[in-house]
Structure 1
């Protein structure tokens, strides 16, 4: 694509998130001027703001979403974290309904939707059930839609820095349960590539990261990468709920997260097999050395 050429208006939601920020950077480097939909424009750095169109809007506001996407040819839709008390499944589904309405009313030709591994179950996977509902609503528009069913984000580890500083990686998942782990930046690269390419119809593409990992294996990798011993510890669902509540999550958020871990660990096999299309390059070890190690600080209580 030549500098300055665009494929019509591209709208990006959650542009300051782990995935969205990478999408924005790549679209800018490709010579486009994307439209960014976000609640708080002050979160954008000045250099980025000069090169984009900014629409201040909440994705839960139907009319605001429709207005922001008017004239759009491409849309990246990702639900922001659900931060209100209540049912996150219903909350994500409501936002998904707004996306579907915008696609229909504005004739958006191609939408890339940030879904999740487990959405193929359609129900019984906690808050992922809301993403599954969004998949169905977007499919029903008849427009081109790509669902990216992504694995477990490396960046989720940043939410438990206190325990990791003490050398503990706690999880309600079985310690020997393998699952896909992925760097959100790698997801952003796939999103950007798809927004800038031509395709049609309803499609699903998993994003599995470089390899499936158990939590026991993750602890081994982190120990090497951050320079301190980390051990994986399985906790009960009740203890997991207590930890989530102490982190300030609402009752609805807690149950949505607990249901997700339960639904993905009990007799679940991903519908989308690992392939060259689903495997991304960044390893957990390289990510942890670059991002988690600095976040933990340079003075571990006990070096390896």
Structure 2
């Protein structure tokens, strides 16, 4: 039995079909935890067990983890909480349920940065790494999917790209870093969940096929969209003030700012890309398949 949290989110909606397709060959049963079952694709509802509720709820995870062999763990974003409350606070009930029910394997969504000089002052990333430690302390076999920033973050800029030909961030325009498509993260999770021959605790970096700078992204978007796109670097303090103005928790906003600053200092550059850590989706392919329909409907 594999339990999937956040099955309708950016990663979960790619992961669930992969597991459903492979489940018969692996003799696997699937169980999901979801707040709103109506958001699940109708075609899959008859092939999975559904536990309704939040996977931050002790009663929900206790019920969901009973009889489970493996869990896909993803903490959903919530900008109304501090980073520590969001990641470790949200995860703590699950760690108790993992131990109670003797779940053997957990695959979690986390971040790059462990072992770097910036790991203890990287805001949201630091909180995510602390969550990994919390899960590992239960004694389960644990694999943390150590991810850089997602291509999908650019979808938040779709209106600006469409209307102004501009996207923004706070990092240096020439800072090259890995980026990854969420579909590739889901594929890595599926492989680990279906072949549970691994033991112990380890990170599994998912780095995309190449490092790219904001200038690289602008060039590729210009080519793929057939219209000029440029990058504007936003001052870090300006970003922080804007996010607080939107009503986000100030501690959470500071966590974003600290993460952004750490990334600009090279937080994501500490892992070498190899055949095992690379993932296949190129930014060109992602622009053609995902960004272009969002920007040019």
Please list the CA deviations of residues 7-46 of structure 1 after superposition, one character each: whole Å capped at 9, or x if unmatched: xx10001101121111110111012441011222121121
Aligned to 2:93, which of 63, 82, 98? Answer: 98
Deviation at 1:204, TM superposition (A): 1.2
Answer yes or no: is 1:180 the counterpart of 2:142: no
Please list the CA deviations of residues 143-186 of structure 1 after superposition, one character each: whole Å capped at 9, or x if unmatched: 21001101111110111122211111111011111111001001
Deviation at 1:262, TM superposition (A): 0.9
Corresponding residue number in structure 1 for 2:20: 28
Corresponding residue number in structure 2 for 1:107: 102
Deviation at 1:119, TM superposition (A): 4.4
Answer yes or no: is 1:50 the counterpart of 2:50: no
Corresponding residue number in structure 1 for 2:146: 149
* Equivalent residue runs for 1:94-243 within 5 Å: 94-121=89-116, 122-165=119-162, 166-197=164-195, 198-243=197-242
Deviation at 1:245, TM superposition (A): 4.5
Q: What is the count of residue pairs matched by the alignment?
A: 289
Does the 8 A contact of 2:111 with 2:145 survive in 1?
yes
Deviation at 1:276, TM superposition (A): 0.9
Answer yes or no: is 1:60 the counterpart of 2:56: yes
Aligned to 1:37, which of 29, 33, 38? Answer: 33
- Further displaced range: 226-235 or 261-270: 261-270
Which segments of 5 or more consecutive residues in structure 1 lack a partner in the other structure? 1-8, 299-304
Deviation at 1:297, TM superposition (A): 1.9
Deviation at 1:228, TM superposition (A): 1.3
1:291 and 1:270 mapped to 2: Cα distance? Answer: 26
Does the 8 A contact of 1:120 with 1:132 survive in 2?
no
- Further displaced range: 67-76 or 98-107: 98-107
1:143 and 1:137 mapped to 2: Cα distance? Answer: 11
Does the 8 A contact of 1:145 with 1:201 survive in 2?
yes
1:79 and 1:103 mapped to 2: Cα distance? Answer: 15
1:247 and 1:88 mapped to 2: Cα distance? Answer: 17
1:108 and 1:275 mapped to 2: Cα distance? Answer: 31
Corresponding residue number in structure 1 for 2:254: 255
Does the 8 A contact of 2:112 with 2:267 survive in 1?
no
Describe the shift of the 1:227–1:252 C-alpha distance in structure 2 as closer, same or farther (beyond 3 A): farther
1:247 and 1:169 mapped to 2: Cα distance? Answer: 19
Please list the CA deviations of residues 66-85 of structure 1 after superposition, one character each: whole Å capped at 9, or x if unmatched: 2211111010001111142x
Does the 8 A contact of 1:119 with 1:131 survive in 2?
no
Describe the shift of the 1:248–1:294 C-alpha distance in structure 2 as closer, same or farther (beyond 3 A): farther
2:267 and 2:43 mapped to 1: Cα distance? Answer: 44
Deviation at 1:271, TM superposition (A): 3.9
Does the 8 A contact of 1:89 with 1:256 survive in 2?
no
1:42 and 1:269 mapped to 2: Cα distance? Answer: 37
Which segments of 5 or more consecutive residues in structure 2 lack a partner in the other structure? none
Corresponding residue number in structure 1 for 2:281: 282
2:122 and 2:114 mapped to 1: Cα distance? Answer: 8
Secondary structure of 1:205's partner?
strand
Does the 8 A contact of 1:77 with 1:99 survive in 2?
no
Deviation at 1:289, TM superposition (A): 1.1
Does the 8 A contact of 2:178 with 2:268 survive in 1?
no
Corresponding residue number in structure 2 for 1:74: 70
1:44 and 1:144 mapped to 2: Cα distance? Answer: 29
The Cα RMSD (Å) is 1.7
Corresponding residue number in structure 1 for 2:271: 272
1:11 and 1:113 mapped to 2: Cα distance? Answer: 12
